[in-house]
Amino acid sequence: MRLCIIILCILINEGSTNFDTPGGINFNLQHARSVFSQALDSLEKILEGTGSLVTIALDQIKVCVRTVIESIEEKFEATNINKGGIRKPAATSRTLQNKNLSQNKGTTKGHIDAEAWSELLDSIAEVNDNSKSTASQVRTLKKLPPPPTPVDLIKEAGYPAESHYVITPPGYILNLNRIPHGKNRRKTKRVAYLQHGFIDSTYSWVHDFGGALAYILADAGYDVWMGDARGNTYSRNHTTLDPDDDPEFWNYSWHDMAVEDLPAIIDYIIKHTGTDGIYYVGHSQGGTMFYAMTASKPEMNSKIKAHVSMSPITYAGHTKSPVMKLLADYRGPLEKFLHRIGANEFLPHREMGEVPASICSEGVGPILCSMLLFAIEGYGPDQMNVTITSEIMKYIPAGASIKQSLHFLANMKSGRFAQFDYGHFGNLKRYGSLSPPEYDLKKVTAPTYLIYTSSDWLSDAMDNDKVYEELPNCIGRTILKDPAFNHIDLMYGKYAPDMIYRKIVEFFSRY
């Protein structure tokens, strides 16, 4: 069902585009509607004569397909798909410098405060050469999605919250969320930055399932900042490129986010708070980005007081997930196919959010959705209550670029922790070598603590052991031997606050 939804996402998202497949078939929304209608007919035939449990499961998939068809029909009616193709990217302005955007003190629920939004636009105008060009660029900016946003959730939990915006050198506008202090108003002048994982968002740091890390750090006196990664639900903005119409918007991998976005965010936080260093926590891709940043820009190490990696995905040759291993094996053909059909965005929340959330909330849906997560990230039903799956699916997946996904798959296939693989000829042109260069972890000198599990199917313990051995300043590690802990349980597990988050606070207290 997950694969069905991914294919559906591509078809719907690229529905305003005409393209030819290798077989010469002209695909568009009308064709997609026909394909899924046939799938529904097939499901109805399968349902005949099956047992009760199988019938319930297949019926859930049938509901998914029917919802898909309705979504396609709605978009088909609203779009004249036979006219035009993919729009060419807008002309990119000169390289933008990071500007200190005003904090959003007066945010109304679910929307950006008008004054803060106006100041954001003024900041963009300041770094462009002519007002006429800026006026056209302003129209590409997207409002935040409807409530609840991370700031809404933080306030609902009883904590103060702020929204900030950072313009990175290539022009991406990133959303930052801040909790300046805890409920007890204790302040230690320590500043923490939390970076979420792949297709995730700030939500994973501020959910209310019994002890989110952001709240624990805030109550311990930290000024807590959380960044939404480039291209996700809350950072789907750019000064010149429209994510809905300009493919160039999605031409990045997590390497670009590591060497362009993270330094801009860290510099912004340091300038805004006056601190002399950041306490960094990264989960999954958040750790990946940290290692790529400090290995590529060693000068950033001096701006990090201490760093905690929770199940980072670096060397990934021992990944156990059957889904990810299958995709990694076919990474080459998959990349060519996605390029051929013009697919750029991976699991966008605006297309994906309603379908999984509705399916995962009824009947056997929570169990099926949990099984899908287990198939990708590892099995741990004792840690993750299946009843919260539908709530999580309201925010996740939060979207990413296809190129991010392909970067991970390439490293899983090769077993190397390396930059993006453009193929032999592309690598020669870009890197001067047949293979992409590996990140030198010996350049990561910031004090680091590793936390990973023995049952994680994405971030395998053997791969993390290698990271531990190569880091020159890895102070220690915790390996959770409990088979109940998998990749996502580090964020949503019932015992994560006591077994993991308290340990992070204790480690930070040493620096």
Q: Which sequence positions are flagged as catalytic?
A: 284, 487
Which is it for the CA torsion 194, 200, 203, 209, positive or negative? Answer: negative
Residues 187, 333: Cα–Cα separation, whole Å: 53
Taking alpha carbons only, the member of 284, 235, 242 closest to residue 264 is 235
Count CB atoms within 10 A of the CB of residue 425.
Answer: 9
Q: For the chain, how far is it from start to end, CA to CA, in angstroms? A: 47
Q: Which amino acid is at 425?
A: F
Residues 42, 62: Cα–Cα separation, whole Å: 10
* Residues 6+ away with beta carbon under 8 Å from 173: 120, 141, 165, 166, 167, 235, 237, 238, 239
Q: Which amino acid is at 406?
A: L
H-helix or E-strand containing 346? strand 345-346
Do β-strands 278-283 and 190-195 pair in parallel, antiparallel, or remain unpaired?
Answer: parallel
Kindly report the CA angle at 173 between 168 and 175, in degrees rounded to 5?
110
Residues 222, 219: Cα–Cα separation, whole Å: 7
